[in-house]
Structure 1
Amino acid sequence: MDDIPLIFDPVTGNYHRITRASEVVLTYLDGTRTRDDLVEFFSRADPTRTDALSRQLDTFLSALEKSGLLEGSDLTDKARNGGRVRTSMLMPRIILTRSLPHLLEPVANVLRSVPASLLVLLASLGSVTGYAFGFHVFFTAMPPLQVLSGPAFLLATCVMLLFVLAHESAHALVAQILKAPVRGLGVALLFYFMPVAYVDRTDAYRVRGRGGRVVLAMAGILSDGWYCGLTGLVALNSDGLLQHTAAFLLGMQLFMLVINLNPLMPSDGYTALEAATGVTNGRGRAFALLRHTVRHQQLPAHLANLSARARRGYMTYGVFSMVYVCFLAFAMFHALPTTVDLALSVVGR
């Protein structure tokens, strides 16, 4: 991952980030040396560091054992759960199919013959044009939300589910083109009740080069732009129930874009930002830096040693995230009365 060494566990399929020093130590974990042999071996050049090396090695071996990476160590509950249903913090996930690589390979094989820069350029231009046209139609040519019919909302919701599936399939197609096939297509329940489609693209770590990982992260957003433009065309050239359905779809697509650019969640935009900058856990570092700065607390070592440029970057990101949250809260508060009216119209009241 950007030349940061990773351990790949073929039993669980998980990746574990390690340091360069840990990578060297791993080459000596071949089953022929005891822990004491390793301490003696690494302290030969500087016997005065035996105690320090002993503590560091114990910490490293303990971390490996907790992750189930040492032969004979028990797998954690998280690692042991390798079936179709997995649970992470506030988001249980259910894998629906693992067949996407087989379905997408014929298309991916054709697209690999086209220059990658040309594919990205065409996808980006079409997406930006689609978003611009679709949202222009939504804000200038659609009837007021209050007069839209309830059945149109239900129809738009069903169509939107298909668009979400297409969004995730776009990620899977780019991964297939890059020869890092997705592991599965599934549904996650955000906060245990909100269904969210996803593709497991864990093996994107294997993609060499930031450009490929950025495109992989942005593939869904780029495809959504094309669908937004198509929806705008339908809305502009129809009336009645079809136009109302398209109007709701445009609103949902705008909402989806806002969600996908959310800097506070592992969204497509956030993933693309991490891939482009080569930063891992930038969100956590930004808020830790903000928190310690506001409270006038001593910074931890990994933040205290940041360059002035990196610190400004993290602070800017943290402030932008806070402004983004305030904007969303303001928009949701003002949309609440209309949302209530819409919900009542759907149930016929």
Structure 2
Amino acid sequence: MISSPPKLREELEVIRGMDDIPLIFDPVTGNYHRISRAGEVVLTYLDGTRTRDDLVAFLARADQRRAEALSGQIDTFLAALDRSGLLEGSEPPGKPKDRGRVRGSMMMPRIVLTRSLPRVLEPLAVVLRAVPARLLVLIAALGALAGYAFGFHTLFTVMPAPRDLAGPAFLLGTGVMLLYVLMHETAHALVAQMLGTPVRGLGVALLFYFMPVAYVDRTDAYRFRGRGGRVVLAMAGILSDGWFCALSGVIALNSGGLLRDVAVLVLGMQLLMLIINLNPLMPSDGYTALEAATGFTNARGRAFALLRHTVRREELPAYLANLSKAARRGHMAYGLFAVAYICLLAYATFRALPATVNLALSAVGR
């Protein structure tokens, strides 16, 4: 039990994150701590002038039954703050141990390549901030749409034989695609820099310890409040990919031999990357943009729960029943889109299986 008058550390900052959820930012560790809205109210009274008993009495307002209920809740809340090192006099949180450039995770260890992106990108961000934001977004979006349309049309009109895509073409194409992925992540970082929420680092994560995936640490994107900016931040990589898709299409259309084969193979990888980034079943860029646009978290879980209860004709739980009609229709549409996506992906996989087998056989000389 916290005996002395609890006081929140002076340097902490309380902000609002996704879905308007209150967060405590600790500048010492760089961590964000999620709290409830009721907890946010309690924080305003943690000024070191009230003891734990004073807090209970003040919040209960002479209601004995309410005081008994609040007593345990206040104890739990204060204990959580104390364990996290957020109270004056609690165990200092300390800075995270310096583990070099490797960060551990159960299924995805991460290797930090650089933490200098904010310094590198700031000169460009200064120039872009001078351009009206809506004009920038319009140019980026129209260019990306045109780039995807041109690139994928080129992919299906100049597709060489599968055996031409094996060997050197595959190796070179993979190298170019890794560069494109790096530019994809840099686009996220550039938008974050323009919004005043610089990324913490650029690196490579090893999904399941063997599949390399580039990433930028956008933890501080919580700090930007505008939904429009959050949507653009989430979609920046996809928009930049559209422009690079156009570049690959131009090369494929105006070259021959190995260079054409590499460009076509890269276009195929870019199509796959777009499908992955629009995947409504994973925390993809598209899914993140949807959450940012709607202000909802766990939109996928709500959508499938709504579909399940509707199909089974079951009574909706309170968190779904309390949604507005517009929000309910939106979640239903999202759920149906996710189901259609699964069906389309399964169909495309089935149709592409023979070509995939032929490419694999060509790669081994059969």
Question: Normalising by the residue count of structure 1, what TM-score does the alignment of the two structures yield?
Answer: 0.90
Q: CA deviation at 1:141?
A: 2.7
Moved more, 63-72 or 258-267: 63-72
Matched, 1:238 2:265: no
Q: CA deviation at 1:297?
A: 6.1
Contact 2:22 2:40 in 1 (8 A): yes
Partner of 2:4: none
Partner of 1:157: 174
- CA deviation string 1:304-337 (max 9, x = no partner): 4223332232232223212212322332233233
Matched residues, number? 347
- CA deviation string 1:259-316 (max 9, x = no partner): 1111111111111111111112212222343445556666544334223332232232
Where does 1:99-118 land on structure 2 (aligned, <5 Å)? 99-118=116-135
Matched, 1:167 2:193: no
Which among 302, 313, 321 is matched to residue 285 of structure 1? 302
Q: CA deviation at 1:343?
A: 2.7
Matched letter for residue 245 of structure 2:
C
Identity of aligned residues (%): 73
Moved more, 130-139 or 292-301: 292-301
Cα pair distance change 1:179/1:326, threshold 3 Å: same
Moved more, 190-199 or 67-76: 67-76
Q: CA deviation at 1:113?
A: 1.1
Contact 2:56 2:67 in 1 (8 A): yes
- Paired with 1:149 and 1:322, the residues of 2 have a C-alpha distance of 34
Partner of 1:141: 158
- Paired with 2:175 and 2:48, the residues of 1 have a C-alpha distance of 56
- Paired with 1:11 and 1:289, the residues of 2 have a C-alpha distance of 41
Question: Normalising by the residue count of structure 2, what TM-score does the alignment of the two structures yield?
Answer: 0.86
Cα pair distance change 1:309/1:88, threshold 3 Å: farther
Q: Give the SS at the match of 2:297.
A: coil
Matched, 1:98 2:103: no
Where does 1:160-309 land on structure 2 (aligned, <5 Å)? 160-293=177-310, 299-309=316-326
Contact 1:39 1:57 in 2 (8 A): yes
Contact 2:197 2:224 in 1 (8 A): yes
Q: CA deviation at 1:107?
A: 1.0
- CA deviation string 1:37-60 (max 9, x = no partner): 211121125333112222332343
Aligned-pair Cα RMSD in Å: 2.5
Q: CA deviation at 1:80?
A: 5.3
Cα pair distance change 1:95/1:292, threshold 3 Å: farther
Contact 2:163 2:363 in 1 (8 A): no
Matched, 1:322 2:339: yes
Which among 62, 65, 74 is matched to residue 57 of structure 1? 74
Cα pair distance change 1:188/1:211, threshold 3 Å: same
Partner of 1:9: 26
Which among 339, 346, 349 is matched to residue 363 of structure 2? 346
Partner of 2:137: 120
Q: Give the SS at the match of 1:208.
A: coil
Q: CA deviation at 1:88?
A: 4.1
Q: Give the SS at the match of 1:309.
A: helix
Contact 2:159 2:264 in 1 (8 A): yes
- Paired with 1:333 and 1:20, the residues of 2 have a C-alpha distance of 48
Cα pair distance change 1:186/1:234, threshold 3 Å: same
Contact 1:95 1:186 in 2 (8 A): yes
